[in-house]
Amino acid sequence: MSELPLPVEHECLPCFLYRVTGMQSCDGSLKLLTHYRDQCAPRATALEKKMRMLGGYCDCEVLLNAVRPATTQAMRLIEVGEDLVCKGVRRGTIQPCENWLMRRGVQWGGGRFSRRSA
């Protein structure tokens, strides 16, 4: 079994994915995402499904498709591959910190997933 890095205190999901996929290449699975979920937000059981709906079929695609940088500063750092300092989130949430915006179409409030009929 390969050792996966642990999320640091209050680190949000996209910051964790960004940090770890910068250290080791994506293997085409959502293993980092599920690892984060298991560590930080075990009740977010629909997380993989949610990410796939947003086009995130593996860890790096979650970063590319499901979220985008919320600030110019974050965008610049990501462009050049620099470290991003997580702004911090409360424990148990899968919401991103202020560095990121979720793509529309998924409701994140209260940790509950509700799909709107189109």
Closest CA to 97 of 8, 6, 11: 11
Does 15 engage in binding with Zn ion (CB under 5 A)? yes
Q: Which is nearer to Zn ion, 30 or 116 (CB)?
A: 30
Q: Which positions ≥6 away from 24 have C-beta within 8 Å? A: none
Does 62 engage in binding with Zn ion (CB under 5 A)? no
Q: What's the sign of the alpha-carbon dihedral 43, 32, 96, 55?
A: negative
Does 26 engage in binding with Zn ion (CB under 5 A)? yes
Residues 35, 109, 66: CA angle, nearest 5 degrees? 55
Q: According to CB under 5 A, which residues from 69 to 98 bind Zn ion?
A: 86, 97
Taking the complex as a whole, how short is the minimal distance between the CB of residue 96 and Zn ion, in angstroms? 6
User: What is the binding site for Zn ion (CB under 5 A)?
Assistant: 12, 15, 26, 58, 60, 86, 97, 99
